[in-house]
Structure 1
Amino acid sequence: MGLVEQIIARAKANKQRIVLPEADEERTLVAADQVLEQGIADLILIGNPAKVQALVEKNGLKNIGKATFIDPENYEKSEEMAQLLQKLREKKGMTIEQARELVKNPLYLGCMIIKTEGADGQISGALSTTGDTLRPALQIIKTAPGITCVSGAMLMITETPQYGENGVMVFADVAVTPMPDANQLGQIAVCTAQTARSVAGFAEPRVAMCSFSTKGSAKHEVVDKVVEATKVAKELDPTLKIDGELQADAALVPAVGEKKAPGSDIAGHANVLVFPNLEVGNIGYKLVQRLGNAVALGPILQGIARPVNDLSRGCSVEDIVNLVAITACQAMDAKK
């Protein structure tokens, strides 16, 4: 069974309630029908009823009636949600009139449903920008305890079984925070290890904090940041198996790791790579994907108290189905 199949199987075994706030978008609705047919998750669909019905008929969708539907313009809990949203944002100057308008926005409404424990996670982005997806999540759900920044992890399914977990690696940050400081980078390491457990199914994440230096082989302030970030991660999670700074070959290749970082439990055996900034992470995963013919699954947003994930606007139906399963796995972990 491949990694995607394993993720879907875990989602089926413990069904979570996932909000799709772009239900009147065709790919999203077709994906929702497949999710419901396969029993991957329970769905809350937010959208215009007339548009949804037209798409159901156009695509011959047979399972969509199993979902809970919400019309954001005529939701019986709108006033209750608006009152709570205004209270949550009153220190930022939000008025009740502004809150009433915002809860008509499906992305805000979905996050309010999660906040009031009516759902476990949300996915958007087929129509919306990353900023539009993240804004309500950060305003309403906020970041997880001890975490102040959001990051994006990528599952890399490679054709090199000698590395990672039978060829599977987790890379971060590849999507969100351009230039993390040492504290943020340490947080990203902890969050990525959690993603490796909850989504990739790693029994033991082994985190390498990557740099162009291994154990002091080069001196530079950016190397110092990685060293400090490693300390931060250990303080946040004393049980975490992590080491740094390590060059990529020292992190992955046992013979190189033994030579460059003797005595390290991580060198040569890493299955999670944390990069010093977004530029490196984004370039790195795309090089592995294109030159190494790897499958890149994600990005998976991490650091939010309850999972909210972002699709590419060029996503496929399959992408949406897979991300529902991923979000469900994150939601299980968030409840622990």
Structure 2
Amino acid sequence: MDLLQQIVARAKADKQRIVLPEAEEERTLRAADKVLADDMAEIILIGNPDNIKKLAKEWGLGSIGKATIIDPMNNPKSEEYAEKLAELRKKKGMTIEQARELVTKNNLYLGCMIIKTEGADGQISGALSTTGDTLRPALQIIKCAPGVTCVSGGLLLFSQQKEFGENGVLVMGDVAVTPVPDARQLAEIAVCTAQTAKTIAGFAEPRVAMLSFSTKGSAKHEVVDKVVEATKIAHEMAPDLKLDGELQADAALVPSVAEKKAPNSDIAGKANVLIVPNLEVGNIGYKLAQRLGNAVAIGPVLQGIARPVNDLSRGCTVDDIYYMVAITACQAQDAKK
């Protein structure tokens, strides 16, 4: 788990401005205090200032005073944000009245407007909100990164089997968002997950395996054809990316199996990034690795948004939020390049 400390160190080296729109929630406020005490990022809290200060005093959170607190009901920029939001959503029929309602009563929309107007670099929510609640304003306001049409979730998987991936660390995608990607979307997921592997996991050389139940034509089916087509598209999108498919999981990870099933592949047996063909496989796969293989999963990290907006589990811990701030900060650093 040393990687998490490396991520924190990278976040500290170039501090980013991270919005926490669920600021009156206990775990979020405690995590914000820890981030500020460690000088890891600049924190923008959205909520009632009196409530936040009262809770911080009650819980003994001595660093909250370093945060910027924005009161959505008394925000001098509310009208500016409302006008900008109404303009962004004009084609969808949004009125200025509806926009005013959102930027004063929906903290997740307000946070995304702060990012859109260059007042912050990233946002994290989900301790109280659903994934849909987190994604909706991000996609409506910040939108997808250039060349990307779908959002996906990348996962850091820490295995006790150090021979796999990078000393036991692998990155998987998509495990969170797009249920049944088409070939183009699957290719985008592969490229975005490789970028997550570089930006977050620090992989110098992502080696991407496009997973299937077939290896190099060993089975014939339309779902295999999709992976083959996605592999071709991904090569066109990122010609320098080391990527191969279709590969079964054992062929992707185990050198002795790779020698038999895909002897001419540069990726087989050496993959550190695993791309699953659909969300069902991704979700089941990583949870089996957790429960049966005692792997540790960090994430998912949302990928494909022009500026980082990340989702938490409603069962998250203070440490989960703390490390997600570090991850979001590293994504924000990369988005500025």
**TM score, norm. by length of structure 1:** 0.99
Q: Alpha-carbon deviation of 1:53?
A: 1.9
> Could you tell me which residue of structure 2 aligns to residue 223 of structure 1?
224
Q: Alpha-carbon deviation of 1:259?
A: 1.5
AA aligned to 2:103 is V
Cα separation, 2, equivalents of 1:206 and 1:326: 21
> Could you tell me which residue of structure 2 aligns to residue 50 of structure 1?
50
Superposed CA deviations along residues 231-287 of structure 1, whole A, max 9, x for unmatched, are 111111111110000000000011111211112110000000000000000000011
> Could you tell me which residue of structure 1 aligns to residue 172 of structure 2?
171
Q: Alpha-carbon deviation of 1:55?
A: 1.0
AA aligned to 1:316 is T
Cα separation, 2, equivalents of 1:44 and 1:236: 36
Cα separation, 2, equivalents of 1:319 and 1:157: 15
Cα separation, 2, equivalents of 1:128 and 1:272: 29
> Could you tell me which residue of structure 1 aligns to residue 202 of structure 2?
201
Q: Alpha-carbon deviation of 1:50?
A: 2.6
> Could you tell me which residue of structure 1 aligns to residue 325 of structure 2?
324
> Could you tell me which residue of structure 2 aligns to residue 110 of structure 1?
111
Superposed CA deviations along residues 185-229 of structure 1, whole A, max 9, x for unmatched, are 000000000000000000000000000000000000000000001
Name the % identity. 76
Cα separation, 2, equivalents of 1:33 and 1:140: 28
Q: Alpha-carbon deviation of 1:54?
A: 2.1
**How do residues 309-320 of structure 1 correspond to structure 2 at under 5 angstroms?**
309-320=310-321
> Could you tell me which residue of structure 2 aligns to residue 303 of structure 1?
304
> Could you tell me which residue of structure 2 aligns to residue 242 of structure 1?
243
> Could you tell me which residue of structure 2 aligns to residue 185 of structure 1?
186
AA aligned to 1:254 is P
**Is 1:141 the equivalent of 2:145?**
no
> Could you tell me which residue of structure 1 aligns to residue 86 of structure 2?
86
Cα separation, 2, equivalents of 1:55 and 1:309: 24
**How do residues 122-161 of structure 1 correspond to structure 2 at under 5 angstroms?**
122-161=123-162
**Is 1:121 the equivalent of 2:122?**
yes
AA aligned to 1:238 is P
Cα separation, 1, equivalents of 2:190 and 2:48: 40
Q: Alpha-carbon deviation of 1:51?
A: 2.0
Q: Secondary structure at the match of 2:89?
A: helix
**How do residues 239-278 of structure 1 correspond to structure 2 at under 5 angstroms?**
239-278=240-279
Cα separation, 2, equivalents of 1:234 and 1:117: 33
AA aligned to 2:70 is I
**Is 1:233 the equivalent of 2:234?**
yes
Superposed CA deviations along residues 87-138 of structure 1, whole A, max 9, x for unmatched, are 0000000111111111111100100111111111000001111111000000
Cα separation, 2, equivalents of 1:292 and 1:5: 23
Q: Secondary structure at the match of 1:189?
A: helix
49-58 or 263-272, which deviates more: 49-58
Q: Secondary structure at the match of 1:61?
A: coil
Q: Secondary structure at the match of 1:162?
A: coil
AA aligned to 2:271 is A
Superposed CA deviations along residues 141-179 of structure 1, whole A, max 9, x for unmatched, are 000101010111110011111110000000111111100
Q: CA RMSD in A?
A: 0.8
> Could you tell me which residue of structure 2 aligns to residue 20 of structure 1?
20
> Could you tell me which residue of structure 2 aligns to residue 99 of structure 1?
99
> Could you tell me which residue of structure 2 aligns to residue 35 of structure 1?
35
Superposed CA deviations along residues 31-76 of structure 1, whole A, max 9, x for unmatched, are 0000000111111110112321221111111111111110001101
Q: Secondary structure at the match of 1:296?
A: strand
**TM score, norm. by length of structure 2:** 0.99
Cα separation, 2, equivalents of 1:93 and 1:72: 23
Cα separation, 2, equivalents of 1:198 and 1:38: 21
Q: Secondary structure at the match of 1:169?
A: strand
Cα separation, 1, equivalents of 2:64 and 2:92: 39
Cα separation, 2, equivalents of 1:102 and 1:166: 46
> Could you tell me which residue of structure 2 aligns to residue 74 of structure 1?
74
Q: Alpha-carbon deviation of 1:294?
A: 0.9
